[in-house]
Amino acid sequence: MPFLVLANFKSHKTIPEVKSWLETIVPVFEQYQDQLEVIIAPSFPHLHLLSSSLNSCAQDVSPFPPGAYTGAVNAPQLKDLGVKYCLVGHSERRHFFHETHQDVANKVSELLGVGITPVLLLSEKDIVPQFAALDDSLVDRCLYCFEPPSDIGGTTTAPLDVITQVIGQIRAHTPAPLLYGGSVTPQNIANLLPLNLSGVLVATASLETSSFNSILEVIAHAR
């Protein structure tokens, strides 16, 4: 399968900025589409800017079905927007919004119920309790991403031996595709490629087209 590269914009960018980013980057990853699958995760108000030919990813979803939950965006609504993937369990959601392992499990169930693939983010300490909270029948239908909170937003990834160890811990629960996230940059992406990974999640380095383009080029030329 193509190597997955997920761009997480977090709470950044305006509509003109997203449009400009797409105009610059889409032609680049189209030429690498045999080697790469690029997934783009903008903020909720910008999901409509992604055409049906792009792999759109929401950054969050309600753990509840449609109903009286003011401010919530539910899975069927994301499906209507053509969303194909959705992040769940990001450490920033767990920390700032106090989301529990059961909240994350409920989101996984809601997403898979409408055919959206969850991208479930895990720190090392989340692995055992999060898999315990998931419905066994849904475990192998997700993508997973190891993203240590201490290595978010910097310039260096977690040590490669630590990443390898955690990959093994996650693989003990599921053979599903596994990504790494946490300070992925043009300078260190080559170090991650020999690992047993299906892709990477890129946040800070995805905001500037020059750095994201460099990451795509390194991956494409290595495959």
Q: Are 6 and 41 in contact (CB under 8 A)?
A: yes
Report the C-alpha gap between 9 and 21 in whole angstroms. Answer: 11
The residues carrying an active-site annotation are 90, 147
Compute the Cα dihedral for 58, 60, 65, 69 and give only its sign. negative
Q: 209-222 vs 15-30: helix axis angle to the nearest 10?
A: 20
Report the C-alpha gap between 57 and 93 in whole angstroms. Answer: 16
Q: Which residues pair with 146 in a beta bridge?
A: 122, 180
- Using alpha carbons, list the distances in angstroms from residue 141 to 57, 127, 135, 219: 16, 16, 11, 25
